[in-house]
């Protein structure tokens, strides 16, 4: 017997038929004796339908009334799922974010959860009720309806699991777990049974869009075991947890997965006179233009100058290039250039902390395939390289193979 | 400068285009210096769409979760109308029933308003904001979402007007006012400028479905001037008020209108032994079958027996006939019979209180047309007759003409 918080996304509740399937699945857990709290998104398509209505009135609408509008999507789902559970003879009760109450700050459209009152849900659970909570929404301290932004239902699930001290937060989605890399690129990609929060964060932020980053951060912060699994297929999914070896005796694999990101573009200023504050002078105007910067590298060049390189989202490439070209001339730099035909490949794994030689092995694998590395960046549990776009598939497959990720016994 | 509560029904907000038209209309009042509180229904079709979803899960669903589902309809409208007002440069703020808060009892699907907290709306009005409130909904004392039942948005409007001490509650609908009778039956039917709450109640309960009866009762109880007017055409509509002659010097018309009801059926038991409690013995089983009884007549018959007649909704005719036939034999009555080809015609007017001879004039008019009267029932401001169904149009036209309702100078 455990207390489980399960979250079902828009596709999983996209029709009455699917809502009824979710009801059956929830009941199968309830019948095993678990206490069940279910977090749901709006039925797929509903948020877009509502957004389209709003945009007919004001294409740039933001703020309070947009939240009042969009939160109806989840409210419809909680009512329908509760009805389906009741129809099957189970006591069920729906909660809007405000009814819980999930207190947020007042940053409409992108609010952050401040606290969750678990009292009412606790009481209803004790009475044997299945609880159905609207994801993605809360209220501020004045009772204004807020939303956590797109994908915020994952965060609702994790935050509720933390507040209720649940045994596990299970995110049901349209994939059956977290893979060593994208199976569309590497057919031999293997589903991971376990992964750490840190690794998941690196995987997610690098483009493996299985879970919302904020939800993973939240789960890590409050140490809520998080499981990703399929709404449509049976299986144990992938457990995301703080200690991957918790009940495992075999040694941890060094590398958990290969992530990649196609959305990058690179900007370089060569021969910048190396004076204090030069990084700020270059990145200040970029930041002022609301452009997010990913990797940043600065090398010592010859003759007292420096070479400065950073990457941005490819959508921001043209604007960023214009900015650095202006800046290069005002700084007296030799030249500014850019490249929007690049990708970032990363190997991720907590095991690399204690293993020397991982980086050189990565470079060796790429070199054997004749792939030239344009940039390198490292963190505690990740090594990223920027390479030409045309090498994406070749590089990912070579790394996946070179680090033995496909082998069944590597686990 | 006045404080106006305006209510717009589902047809009036049935599309983005119409919501924008409502925004323009509201602003035209605001520009005249009025404080504006707007109550809206769900966009037409939305409540049916949601009900259909629920019925796919459970065709007989009732209760708490149905209210959670249906209230999203009005929540969508308040958000969209607020956006449309803001887009036009006006400060606007939406309120769900719970946010107001409109406190109701906990009778889900047909809750009654217990109290309204006007404090927050008052504060926002003082700041010049246009307030947009979701009709039809409230919360009980435990924060559960409730609905007032279909058509309850009118009641929300009136209750808000009472709580805010508004100068007028204006109900915008798809007709331009209250008529002396149904214009589809009598082409010369005339729009009334004024009518009393009592008259409106009699007209409404007799089938002139312009306003919800509960809303009129509520307005009468709290003396909230109520105006019915068209969303789509210009005009003053009809003012429903406690004193029809408030600022009128001409004498009140004796009869305000002719109402009729096609949905009646008549049941009769003849020759019932006239003992105490006979009425209860007949109507008890009818009431137990959840059949509502409208008119009830009991005449003294010959030889110490009595004749007992009552009317019910035509849908309940078969069940009611079966009940009275059983009852007739157990009571030792002579016979039980019924007629479901009848209609009720009524003349309504506060003026008849002080005018003798109205009843005889009514009977004379019908008699001249050769219309046989089957039943008669009178109240302070109403005289109703039951006649054969085939005389409906003839009877209504004759009464409308006989009481000079079409003449312009009768007002």
pLDDT value for B392? 94
Q: Using CA coordinates, name the residue in chain A closest to B143.
A: A99
Q: Count other C-beta atoms under 10 Å from residue A408's C-beta.
A: 6
| Residues of B in Cβ contact (< 8 Å) with A16 | 53, 56-57
Integer CA distances (angstroms), B408 to B190, B240, B351, B411, in order? 8, 19, 18, 6
Optimal mutation site among B24, B73, B83, B89, interface A, most CBs of chain A within 10 A: B83
Place of tokens 């009468």: B220
Residue A22 touches partner B, C-beta closer than 8 Å = no
Integer CA distances (angstroms), B192 to A12, B195, B259, B281, in order? 55, 7, 14, 43
- CB-based contacts of A86, cutoff 8 Å, min separation 6: A92, B58, B65
Give the tokens for residue A20.
Answer: 């009824």
pLDDT over 70 (residue B145): yes
Tell if the CB–CB gap between B64 and A96 is shorter than 8 Å.
Answer: no
- Ramachandran region of residue A269, left (φ > 0), alpha (ψ -120 to 50) or beta? beta
Shortest distance, CA B4 to any CA of chain A (angstroms): 22
- CB-based contacts of B200, cutoff 8 Å, min separation 6: B178, B211, B216, B226, B240
Closest CB from A53, A65, A96 relative to B16: A53
Q: Is A221 exposed, middle or buried (0-12, 13-18, 19+ CB in 10 A)?
A: exposed
Closest CB from B56, B68, B87 relative to A78: B68
How many residue contacts between A and B have a Cβ separation below 8 Å?
103
pLDDT value for B218? 87
SS3 track for chain B? CCEEEEEECCCCCCCHHHHHHHHHHHHHHHHCCCEEEEEECCCCCHHHHHHHHHHHHCCCCCCHHHHHHHHHHHHHHHHHHHHHHHHCCCCEEEECHHHHCEEECCCCCCCCEEEECCHHHHHHHHCCCEEEEECCEEECCCCCEEECCCCHHHHHHHHHHHHHCCCEEEEEECCCCCECCCCCCCCCCCECCEEEHHHHHHHHHCCCCCCCHHHHHHHHHCCCCEEEEECCCCCCCEEEECCCCCCCCCCCCCCCEEEEECCEEEEEEEEEECCCCHHHHHHHHHHHCCCCEEEEEEEECCCCEEEEEEEEEHHHHHHHHHHHHHHHHHHCCCEEEEECCEEEEEEECHHHHHCCCHHHHHHHHHHHCCCCEEEEEEECCEEEEEEEHHHHHHHHHHHHHHCCCCCHHHC
Contact B411, B253 (CB under 8 A): yes
Integer CA distances (angstroms), A210 to A153, B92, B177, B407, in order? 13, 39, 58, 74
Q: Using CA coordinates, name the residue in chain B closest to A47.
A: B76
Place of tokens 């109205």: B358
pTM as predicted: 0.81
SS3 state at A399: helix
Contact A7, A169 (CB under 8 A): yes
| Residues of A in Cβ contact (< 8 Å) with B80 | 53-54, 57, 65, 69
- Torsion over CA: B399, B404, B407, B411 (sign): negative
Distance CA B399, CA A112 (A): 67
Contact A11, A44 (CB under 8 A): yes
Give the tokens for residue B67.
Answer: 């209210």
Contact B35, B200 (CB under 8 A): no
**Average pLDDT, whole number, for chain B?**
89
Tell if the CB–CB gap between B65 and A86 is shorter than 8 Å.
Answer: yes
Q: How confident is the model at residue B250 (pLDDT cuts 50, 70, 90)?
A: very low
Q: What angle do CA B405, B409, B411 make, to 5 degrees?
A: 65
Residue A69 touches partner B, C-beta closer than 8 Å = yes
The tens digit of pLDDT for each residue in A50-60 reads 999 999 999 99
Residue B58 touches partner A, C-beta closer than 8 Å = yes
Tell if the CB–CB gap between A69 and B76 is shorter than 8 Å.
Answer: yes
Distance CA A304, CA B106 (A): 78
Closest CB from A71, A79, A145 relative to B68: A79
Q: What's the length of chain B?
A: 411
Q: Distance of alpha carbon B225 from its chain centroid, rounded?
A: 16
Lowest mean pLDDT among A206-210, A333-337, B132-136, B296-300: A206-210
Q: Which helix (H) or strand (E) holds A386?
A: strand A382-388
pLDDT over 50 (residue B249): no
pLDDT over 80 (residue B156): yes
Above 0.85 for ipTM, yes or no? no
Lowest mean pLDDT among A53-57, B136-140, B159-163, B250-254: B250-254
pLDDT value for B48? 94
Q: How confident is the model at residue B273 (pLDDT cuts 50, 70, 90)?
A: confident
Residues pairing with B120 in the sheet? none
pLDDT value for A68? 98
| Residues of A in Cβ contact (< 8 Å) with B69 | 75-76, 79-80, 83
Burial B61-84 (b: 16+ CB within 10 A, else e): beebbbbbbbbbbbbbbbbbbbbb
| Residue B355 preceded by cis peptide, ω within 30 | no
| Residues of B in Cβ contact (< 8 Å) with A38 | none
Residues pairing with A115 in the sheet? A103
Tell if the CB–CB gap between B82 and A65 is shorter than 8 Å.
Answer: yes
- Torsion over CA: B79, B84, B87, B91 (sign): negative
Shortest distance, CA A92 to any CA of chain B (angstroms): 9
Distance CA A346, CA B219 (A): 70
- Check if CATH label 2.40.50.1020 holds for domain B3-174: no
Shortest distance, CA B91 to any CA of chain A (angstroms): 12
Optimal mutation site among A18, A53, A68, A74, interface B, most CBs of chain B within 10 A: A68
Q: Using CA coordinates, name the residue in chain A closest to B15.
A: A53
Tell if the CB–CB gap between A69 and B80 is shorter than 8 Å.
Answer: yes
Distance CA A310, CA A325 (A): 14
Q: Which long-range contacts (CB under 8 A, 24 or more apart) does B214-220 make?
A: B214/B148, B214/B151, B214/B152, B214/B154, B214/B155, B215/B151, B215/B154, B215/B155, B215/B157, B215/B158, B215/B171, B216/B240, B218/B155, B218/B158, B218/B159, B218/B162, B219/B158, B219/B161, B219/B162, B219/B169
Contact A92, A38 (CB under 8 A): no
Residue B94 touches partner A, C-beta closer than 8 Å = yes
Tell if the CB–CB gap between B65 and A76 is shorter than 8 Å.
Answer: no
Tell if the CB–CB gap between B53 and A71 is shorter than 8 Å.
Answer: no
pLDDT over 90 (residue B359): no
Shortest distance, CA A50 to any CA of chain B (angstroms): 8
Tell if the CB–CB gap between B98 and A98 is shorter than 8 Å.
Answer: yes
Half-sphere exposure of B345 (CA within 13 A, CB side): 29
Q: Count other C-beta atoms under 10 Å from residue A128's C-beta.
A: 10
Tell if the CB–CB gap between A76 and B50 is shorter than 8 Å.
Answer: yes
How large is the average pLDDT for residues B58-72? 96
Burial A202-220 (b: 16+ CB within 10 A, else e): bbbbbbbebbbebbbbbbb
Q: How confident is the model at residue B410 (pLDDT cuts 50, 70, 90)?
A: very low
Half-sphere exposure of B186 (CA within 13 A, CB side): 27
Residue A262 has what DSSP assignment? S
Residue A137 touches partner B, C-beta closer than 8 Å = no
Residues (pLDDT < 50) of chain A are 246, 249-250, 409-411
Strands A257-261, A342-348: pairing kind: antiparallel
Tell if the CB–CB gap between B93 and A64 is shorter than 8 Å.
Answer: yes
- Torsion over CA: B125, B129, B132, B138 (sign): negative
Closest CB from B69, B86, B94 relative to A80: B69
pLDDT value for B151? 60
Q: How confident is the model at residue B355 (pLDDT cuts 50, 70, 90)?
A: confident
Q: Distance of alpha carbon A34 from its chain centroid, rounded?
A: 28
Closest CB from A65, A82, A143 relative to B79: A65
Optimal mutation site among A13, A21, A63, A76, interface B, most CBs of chain B within 10 A: A76
């Amino acid at each position: 017997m455990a207390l489980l918080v399960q979250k079902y996304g828009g596709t999983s509740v996209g029709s009455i038929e699917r809502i009824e399937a979710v009801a059956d699945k929830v009941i199968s857990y309830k019948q095993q004796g678990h206490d069940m709290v279910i977090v749901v998104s709006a039925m797929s398509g509903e948020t877009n339908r509502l957004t389209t209505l709003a945009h007919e009135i004001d294409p740039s609408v933001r703020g309070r009334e947009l939240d009042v509008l969009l939160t109806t999507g989840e409210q419809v789902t909680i009512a329908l799922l509760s009805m389906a559970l009741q129809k099957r003879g189970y006591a069920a009760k729906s909660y809007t974010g405000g009814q819980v109450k999930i207190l947020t700050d007042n940053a409409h459209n992108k609010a952050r959860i401040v606290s969750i009152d678990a009292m009412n849900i606790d009481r209803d659970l004790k009475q044997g009720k299945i609880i159905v909570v609207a994801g993605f929404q809360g209220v501020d301290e004045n009772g204004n309806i807020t939303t956590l932004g797109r994908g915020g239902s994952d965060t609702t699930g994790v935050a509720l699991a933390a507040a209720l001290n649940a045994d596990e937060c299970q995110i049901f989605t349209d994939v059956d777990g977290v893979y060593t890399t994208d199976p569309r690129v590497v057919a031999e990609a293997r589903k991971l049974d376990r992964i750490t929060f840190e690794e998941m964060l690196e995987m997610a932020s690098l483009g493996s869009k299985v879970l919302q980053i904020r939800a993973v951060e939240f789960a890590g912060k409050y140490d809520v075991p998080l499981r990703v699994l399929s709404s449509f297929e049976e299986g144990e999914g992938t457990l995301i947890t703080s200690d991957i070896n918790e009940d495992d005796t075999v040694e941890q694999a060094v590398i958990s997965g290969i992530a990649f990101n196609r959305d990058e573009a690179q900007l370089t200023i060569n021969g910048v006179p190396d004076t204090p504050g030069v990084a700020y002078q270059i990145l200040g105007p970029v930041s002022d233009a609301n452009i997010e910067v990913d990797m940043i590298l600065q090398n010592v060049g010859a003759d007292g100058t420096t070479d400065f390189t950073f990457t941005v989202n490819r959508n921001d490439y043209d604007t960023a290039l214009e900015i650095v070209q202006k800046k290069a001339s005002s700084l007296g730099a030799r030249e500014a250039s850019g490249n929007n035909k690049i990708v970032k490949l990363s190997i991720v794994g907590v095991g690399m902390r204690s293993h020397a030689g991982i980086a050189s092995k990565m470079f060796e694998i790429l070199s054997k395939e004749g792939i030239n590395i344009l940039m390198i960046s490292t963190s505690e549990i990740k090594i990223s390289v920027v390479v030409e776009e045309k090498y994406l598939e070749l590089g990912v497959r070579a790394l996946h193979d070179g680090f033995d990720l496909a082998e069944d016994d590597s686990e």
